[in-house]
Copies of this chain bind each other. A is one copy, B any other.
């Protein structure tokens, strides 16, 4: 057939509607509406090479409106990526296919980030754009010089996280970030006028963005708009006026095309309307050839770039960082050795700060930050000077009061590569960024959450600020490692484990209050197995106390009182339940004690779930209501978490 841009775009439309129909599930409207815009982007603007999907200096493309996944699957296939194959696309949304309902970066190399939860792709792209500017500043321009492109829908723009992402990008002046807004006037419930009256361009301008608009079905107009966006030094929003489900004769422009197959009749009508006479999944040779030629255009730039990398003075360091490999060195062990000499009684947030001082000095890839709680989360170190619009080489981001935007940006930096991000807020406000923490876990990103004020131990700020269910609820999240260290040495050990963990996120739950030192041995990272015996019973062992974080020292005090009463008690510190669960039976049962031994858990949070370690016959000390506002000692007494409250209950239980 005649190779026109429209026909090339129609190949996307046909694949999208046919794949959704075959799966009897999916979202054809968005790919059909944005096919023309995407064709221009992949023709003349995006820097990519299907033969080298992980080329470090490629542009990053994020389909924030992830439900339109058939758009990216079509583009990757048409431009010549090894996957998805046509067979993969025919198996859209089946277990066997990498073409999942929503794009999953762990299944397809051409997918930069997993999207679907609205707003997050956009906010993740902000992190990628930060990463690019930072690496550009600390490495040579020859090595890092690319853009970040996003396709976002009304849903992405309406979500609260959009405000945070837009604010951050505008503040940091991320001019290489360009967002193509699929301005189709439709959401699932119907026209956007049902729920919003916003002047979106005005809002973006208010945050320092450049805004341009185009007719999303006019190739020249699209090209002109994208060119203007590229040229402008500010981050750009390109409002692409489109028709959702473009081509579907009776359904286009309506929410009926959004999230359901068009149906055989409508699909036939669409074929007629588009002049697309080919059977499902048949892409005519000349159209495919043209697409492949487009896809091949980037090879030269990639090859040039490789030439520049080869022999570049920064090649080894750049390659190491992009591979996510840690440098050799003994910084952590030296730091631990220092701690062991005079173990301090710091709050674990303070222990974290001091450990971070050593870590960030040794690891230039670490970029820190806080959602406006720098002095409370103790996240800033001498090595991490501010990353600002005027100095992207800095390594500390003042995220502002934007927990969700921060976490998503951290994902973006980790996914970009070359950076290990960490960021802090109060543990209770994981409720504000949980959606992004879950995407860290799904995507296996090395994002490290520094969550301080981890219990009623924060004191007077009261129940709205006191985590009760949070530590446990994060433990429920697959692939999230939750660390709750008990003293300065454990804190450093947990940091070492979090950094070493290349394939998933970690959360450090840290105290506001000071804690006594419990250890002075540092030859082995005892936190590595998730739990260990901190103290063995002296008298005949009848009790095993399992505790975490600030309650380990309490458990030690309880144990001392039990021993004084002739009752032998082990104390097990369990800084990471997930790692402990991964140990073999022998290790776990040795630690938790055999039959006839009473297992007792102590953690200043919900007791729900601790039955896993104590059994039903054990005792669980914790807090199963909301907290209260009072000085710390009053609170621990009020909630019964004291030696005097706990010990008699244990003695009574063992008779």
Contacts and interface: CB of A to CB of B under 8 A. Distances in A.
Contact of A615 (B158, B435, B442, B616): B616
12 contacts: A94-B630, A159-B164, A160-B162, A194-B400, A199-B206, A199-B207, A431-B435, A432-B435, A441-B626, A442-B464, A475-B608, A478-B624
The residue among A370, A441, A468, A473 with the most chain B CB atoms within 10 A of its own CB is A473
Contacts of A333: none
A401 interface: yes
A114 interface: yes
Please state the number of chain copies in the assembly.
2
Nearest to A432: B435
A100 B194 contact: no
Contacts of A625: 478-479
A469 B370 CA distance: 26
A271 interface: no
A635 to B, nearest CB: 8
Interface residues of A, number: 104
A187 interface: yes
Contact of A158 (B118, B167, B476): B167
Contacts of A167: 158, 196-198
Given A95-B634, A442-B626, A629-B100, A171 B196 contact: yes
A505 interface: no
Given A195-B399, A461-B116, A189 B94 contact: no
A469 B478 contact: yes
Interface in A476-503: 476-479
A104 B462 CA distance: 9
Contacts of A104: 462-463, 629
Given A158-B372, A469-B476, 14 more contacts: A66-B464, A94-B631, A95-B634, A95-B638, A101-B460, A101-B465, A102-B465, A159-B163, A187-B400, A194-B386, A202-B203, A203-B207, A431-B434, A611-B615
Nearest to A97: B629
Interface string A123-155: 000000000000000000000000000000011
A88 to B, nearest CB: 12
B476 A608 contact: yes
B477 A463 contact: no
A404 B404 CA distance: 12
A624 B162 CA distance: 31
A375 B429 CA distance: 31
Interface in A368-385: 370, 372-376
Contacts of A163: 159-160, 162-163
B197 A606 contact: no
A510 interface: no
Contacts of A609: 472, 476, 608-609, 611-612
Contact of A460 (B23, B114, B461): B23
A170 interface: yes
Interface string A377-418: 000000000100000000000111111110000000000000
Contacts of A370: 189
A208 interface: yes
The residue among A429, A464, A608 with the most chain B CB atoms within 10 A of its own CB is A464
Nearest to A117: B464
A297 interface: no
User: Across chains A and B, which 6 residue pairs bring their CB atoms closest together, nearest first?
Assistant: A160-B160, A195-B400, A163-B163, A116-B464, A100-B629, A202-B206
Given A438-B431, A462-B100, A615-B615, A158 B626 contact: no
Nearest to A23: B460
A453 to B, nearest CB: 12
A44 B403 CA distance: 37
A423 interface: no
B207 A198 contact: yes
A85 interface: no
A608 B616 contact: no
A89 to B, nearest CB: 14
A489 to B, nearest CB: 28
A116 B398 contact: no
Nearest to A204: B206
Contacts of A195: 171, 372, 398-402
Interface in A297-342: none
Interface string A77-119: 0000000000000000111000011101000000000111111
Nearest to A380: B189
A239 interface: no
Nearest to A480: B469
Nearest to A154: B401
A161 interface: yes
A472 B464 contact: no
Interface in A359-375: 370, 372-375
A159 B460 contact: no
A67 to B, nearest CB: 8
B158 A401 contact: yes
A628 interface: yes
Given A94-B631, A205-B202, A462 B102 contact: yes
